[in-house]
């Protein structure tokens, strides 16, 4: 880790850090999550410009899941996915992931975001599943 990547005692904006450790695809998505209240630090809502220090616990809500991370080191530069464990520790309980998997499996009619409207073929398959042919 080079000295310019790890800021040591300094603070890094939360939106930059979330983007750098690959929790969000873009920095603007990270800032939007902060603005909408989906990111909390130590129990308080985090603004995108809030300074982040090492050792803080971050909760991120989204996609029916609440993930928890501990900040191990600070960076404001995006990195490869293999290096992210050096900067954060995932504290999310396994039960949280299992609960989400159960919710997804329980709803066979759910369509992923971006798939668009069901086609005629999709509708016929759903009718067969429902028994409303």
Q: Summarize pLDDT for 30-86 with one digit per residue, the tens.
A: 999 999 999 999 989 999 999 999 899 999 998 888 999 999 999 999 999 999 999
Residue 88, domain member (yes or no): yes
The answer to the question of residue 62 being in a domain is yes
Query: Domains in the chain: how many in total?
Result: 1
What are the tens digits of pLDDT across the range 118-132? 889 988 888 888 787
Q: Which of 98, 69, 68 is nearest to 85 (CA)?
A: 69
Tell the residue number behind the tokens 């080191």, with chain if given.
Answer: 73
Residue with tokens 């016929």: 124
Give the structural domain span for 45.
Answer: 12-95
Closest CA to 9 of 74, 62, 95: 74
In a domain, 41, yes or no: yes
Give per-residue pLDDT as tens, 30-42: 999 999 999 999 9
CB 73 within 8 A of CB 4: no
In this structure, are residues 129 and 121 in contact, taking their beta carbons and an 8 Å threshold? no
């Amino acid at each position: 880790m080079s000295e310019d990547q790890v800021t040591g005692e300094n603070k890094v904006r939360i939106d930059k850090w979330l983007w750098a450790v690959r929790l969000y695809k873009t920095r603007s998505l990270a800032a939007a999550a902060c603005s909408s209240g989906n990111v909390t630090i130590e129990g308080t809502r985090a603004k995108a410009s809030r300074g982040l220090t090492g050792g803080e616990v971050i909760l991120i809500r989204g996609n029916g899941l609440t993930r928890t991370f501990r900040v191990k080191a600070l960076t404001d530069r995006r990195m490869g996915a293999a290096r992210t464990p050096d900067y954060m520790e995932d504290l999310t309980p396994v039960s949280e992931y299992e609960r989400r998997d159960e919710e997804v499996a329980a709803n066979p009619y759910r369509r992923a975001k971006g798939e668009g409207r069901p086609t005629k073929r999709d509708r016929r398959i759903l009718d067969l599943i429902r028994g409303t042919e």
